Amino acid sequence: MLDELIKEVSAAEMPSHIAIIMDGNGRWAEQHNQKRISGHKEGVNAVRRIVDIAGEINLKYLTIYAFSTENWGRSKTEVGYLLKLIMDSLNKEINGLRKNNVNIRFIGSDKELSESYNKKVIETCKKSWDNDGLHLNIAMNYGSRREILEAFNKMRADIDKGELLEDDISEATVSKYLYTAGMPDPDLIIRTSGEQRLSNFLIWQSAYSEFWFTKTLWPDFSKEEFLQAIIGYQSRKRSFGKR
């Protein structure tokens, strides 16, 4: 089944960038009569699966939404668990990712996170920055409105320094000041768990993205379903406003 689906994916029409809103960990845990945090732990296994298959089909960019600027509003226990889980998973996976030619980075705001947390993330990710296979972005303490606001502030600072001319600000300039600078916009955005919204994810970048919604809860999301989403995407006609 998996091999057949891999063959069905057209290499020529491979999306350059897929972004995923990994949702439904809490409901998965509830279904299994477990605490919410067990759902998050199980969610890491799904991340491993999807990163694995993304590398196998030679995807160039994969961005996954791990923690939003709004997620600080959850209980202290859950937030603490998520921060630790994300750091522990990075530490556990970094050697395997390096071996698999994955180039990993975190995108998001460093404001609410401690200096030592941010430092450790960069130090660890750096070990993979010579890799030129899959570019994996972990959206951590990410919020699109925050990203755009920070971009405005950086632009203003560069104007003050004389490094940016006010008259030169184009759409491309704005893109260059976002966390995703230099990356292609996502061609396909997948959201699991049946919710159909962006939840402050890649608002600027998703202007022309295709969307794929599935009721599957994130911990149950399989390699097969990921490939089905790509095959579905490849059957769509993208006009970009032209005819």
Residues classed as catalytic:
23, 71
- Determine the Cα–Cα distance for residues 128 and 126; give it in Å rounded to an integer: 5
Strands 17-21 and 188-191: parallel
Q: Does 108 bind ligand IPE (CB under 6 A)?
A: no
The only residue of 19, 23, 139, 206 in contact with Mg ion, by rule CB under 5 A: 23
Provide the CA 187 distance to its chain's centre, in angstroms: 13
Q: Does 138 bind ligand IPE (CB under 6 A)?
A: no
- Determine the Cα–Cα distance for residues 57 and 67; give it in Å rounded to an integer: 26
Q: What string marks each residue from 27 to 46 as x (binds ligand IPE by CB under 6 A) or -?
A: x-------------------
Q: Which stretch binds Mg ion (CB under 5 A): 17-25, 61-69, 87-95, 207-215?
A: 17-25
Which C-beta is closer to ligand IPE: that of 22 or that of 155? Answer: 22
Q: Does 93 bind Mg ion (CB under 5 A)?
A: no
Which C-beta is closer to ligand IPE: that of 82 or that of 188? Answer: 82
**Sequence-distant contacts of 84-91: CB under 8 A, at least 24 apart:** 85/37, 85/40, 85/41, 85/44, 86/138, 86/140, 87/117, 87/120, 87/121, 89/44, 89/47, 90/121, 90/124, 90/125, 90/138, 91/124
Q: Which stretch binds ligand IPE (CB under 6 A): 24-32, 149-157, 178-186, 222-230?
A: 24-32
Instruction: Name the site residues for Mg ion (rule: CB under 5 A).
Output: 23
Instruction: Name the site residues for ligand IPE (rule: CB under 6 A).
Output: 21-27, 65-68, 71, 82, 193, 195, 197, 199, 218
